[in-house]
Amino acid sequence: MADTSGTDWQVVSDVLCAAGEAPFWSAREERLYWIDPPLKRAWRLHVPSGRTEHWGFASPITGLTPCRSGGFLLLLADGVYHAHSWLDIPTLLAVLPSVGAEALWRAGTCDPWGRLWLVAQTRDATHRAAHSSTLYCLRARSSNPPPLEPIRHQVGDGLGLCWAPDGRSVTWCNPRRGEVVQAALSQPGRWPPELSAPMPLTRFAMPPDASSAPPSPNAAPFEGLPRSGTLDQTGHHWVTLIASGRVRRLDGNGRTVLDLHVPALYPTGVCLGGEDGCTLFVTSMRSGRGAAELERYPQSGAVFARRVDTPGQPAPLYWD
């Protein structure tokens, strides 16, 4: 089932981000939150009033996670910080271990035991591609500081982590390999966690390489690269596909159920929320997009929303 028009989307605020990422919905506040790492900002939108606010930082913010107390965890250049409220002065909660000068840290999401999962990507000499990534887990705040432990090495890109509601499996995107993968958690709730080797849930055809031989006439067409994801209440996985401007809904076996075209070629983040949980929110990228692309997709960098039939899961919380 496909929607090729993209006309059902609405722009929910007049903010154009360099690269909007990691959206989540707060049902208690009726607010959508997201980050813009290149511009060193976190954003929030109060949907009933349409009021948008931002929170600026001295370094790129690469993770914003809601806490059980009502505050936030912030992933900044040197550590994981805790803030009791919006615009509060953050305090250092956990120092990031040294994993290389070119490391890029990204916060994933929390599991059902209130633990935050992060990914550390070490960079190659070009500063562009991640060549080694490790999943880390920050324990719930039963001690101060809570331990931050490496759990699984060589996890690909490790983007868009989604935990199953029972905590027995986690899914993430590897855009460089064109795949969505899933790993199982043995003895859920145990510390430290033990995660199995990731196995592909679905694969997407990679874009043609201009330096290689022409693709076979029978080769699968390029459909985009998976960048982020979220789970709905039926266990279906919504995945953004960059370079093709799509959000795809996959069933538990990785088969396509629905294909939605977005008014931006690079949709970078996705979540479900709204009053009944049936609003699909998608962030997008504007930075680095060429003039021809921006002429065709002038709303690149915006946050889009549209109605869907199935509600999402509540945003997972860090137990602080």
Q: Is 124 marked within a binding site?
A: yes
CA–CA gap between residue 82 and residue 72 (Å, rounded): 6
Token pair, residue 96, equals 């990031």
Give the closest residue to 229 by CA, choosing from 299, 121, 157, 136. 157
CA–CA gap between residue 143 and residue 204 (Å, rounded): 42
CA–CA gap between residue 69 and residue 80 (Å, rounded): 16
- Asked if 188 contacts 198 with a C-beta cutoff of 8 angstroms, the reply is no
CA–CA gap between residue 245 and residue 262 (Å, rounded): 5
Q: Helical H runs in the chain?
A: 291-296
- Asked if 232 contacts 272 with a C-beta cutoff of 8 angstroms, the reply is yes
Rg over CA atoms, the chain:
19
* Beta bridge pairs of residue 240: 228, 247
Q: Is 21 marked within a binding site?
A: yes
- Asked if 160 contacts 106 with a C-beta cutoff of 8 angstroms, the reply is no
HSE on the CB side for 262, CA within 13 Å? Answer: 33
Amino acid code (one letter) for 106: R
3-state SS, residue 212: coil
Q: Which residues are annotated as a binding site?
A: 21, 124
Q: Which residues are annotated as a binding site for substrate?
A: 124
Q: Which residues are annotated as a binding site for a divalent metal cation?
A: 21
